[in-house]
Amino acid sequence: MGAVTTSLALLCLCSLGSCVPAGTPPPTQASQPDVKKARGDVPDILPVNEPEPTHLTSDFENSYNYVLSRLAGMDQAIHKLNVGHYTLDVKVGQLMEHLSRMDAKVVELEDKIRDVYQHSKDNRKQMGRLEGCQKGLRVGYKCYLVYNSYEDYAGASRKCQERGGRMAMPRDRREQEALADYVKSFFHPGNWPVWLGVNDLSAEGQYIYDDGTRVSYFQWRKHFLSSQPDGGKRENCVAMSSDDGDWWDHYCDRAMNYLCEFDDRVAL
């Protein structure tokens, strides 16, 4: 009875496809795919994702859209450049306006500086004339003042003009004798020459005053050892000796004291 039952069980298993012949080893992992394949669980060929078909129209649209996007970007960049250029142009215009205003102020300041400089020159001349007439010698409508500082002939002439006068130009005996006494007392007991406004720089032997007029009076030193003038073309400027008031010709670049005259009739 037991043998019959065993046989029936084996028959049922074989009918279900699970019957394994005796002595057959159990299936391994390597043989599992074969089993599954035999059962139809896994398809023979796995499906492959095929690329979607492309069309010429879609490629053109993509390129067209790309070009449009790039053009839009360029348009934005150009707009920014235009805005920046306009801003810069406005700032440049403002800067030019400021520079124009500054230039006008500089011109105005230069005018004021010239006015101040001219007033300063005028004041210096007025002060020079006042000083000459208060500290120096008055002869008629003229005032004379000795300056105990060393200048060459051109420098002495310039200094006298800056003070509102000219180098002394004695035009007659009365003025000459008054100046001789004044200079002698100023340097007593020494003997120091002082420049006069007399020279023959333009033409040898033709002496003129510092104001350009012809010399009308001379007081040359007359001595058998040193009669003046004796410098020829080398010595063209005239100085007065302080001990006796005689005139000597000298090199014009020699530095010595000088004597200025001021017109007292000039309104102060």
Closest C-alpha to 194, from 218, 230, 168, 225: 168
Q: pLDDT below 70 — which residues of the chain? A: 1-57, 266-268
Q: pLDDT value at position 73?
A: 84
Give the ranges where 136-243 is alpha helix by DSSP (H): 153-162, 173-187
Q: Residue 234, class by beta-carbon neighbours within 10 Å (0-12 exposed, 13-18 middle, 19+ buried)?
A: exposed
The encoded tokens of residue 9 equal 């069980």
Q: pLDDT value at position 60?
A: 78
Q: pLDDT value at position 190?
A: 86
Q: Which residues pair with 258 in a beta bridge?
A: 147, 195
- Distance from C-alpha of 144 to C-alpha of 135, rounded to nearest angstrom: 9
224 and 160 in contact (C-beta within 8 Å)?
Answer: no
Cα 137 from chain centroid (whole Å): 51
The encoded tokens of residue 130 equal 């006042």
- Distance from C-alpha of 210 to C-alpha of 166, rounded to nearest angstrom: 7
Q: pLDDT value at position 13?
A: 43
Q: pLDDT value at position 69?
A: 84
Q: pLDDT value at position 29?
A: 47
E-assigned strand segments in 125-255: 137-139, 142-151, 166-167, 194-199, 208-209, 237-240, 247-250
Q: pLDDT value at position 218?
A: 95
The encoded tokens of residue 121 equal 């020159």
109 and 147 in contact (C-beta within 8 Å)?
Answer: no
Q: pLDDT value at position 123?
A: 86
What's the pTM value of the predicted model, to 2 decimals? 0.60
Q: pLDDT value at position 17?
A: 47
Architecture of domain 131-263: Roll (3.10)
258 and 158 in contact (C-beta within 8 Å)?
Answer: no
Q: pLDDT value at position 264?
A: 83
Q: pLDDT value at position 226?
A: 75
What ranges do the domains of the chain cover?
A: 131-263
Closest C-alpha to 155, from 147, 143, 127: 147
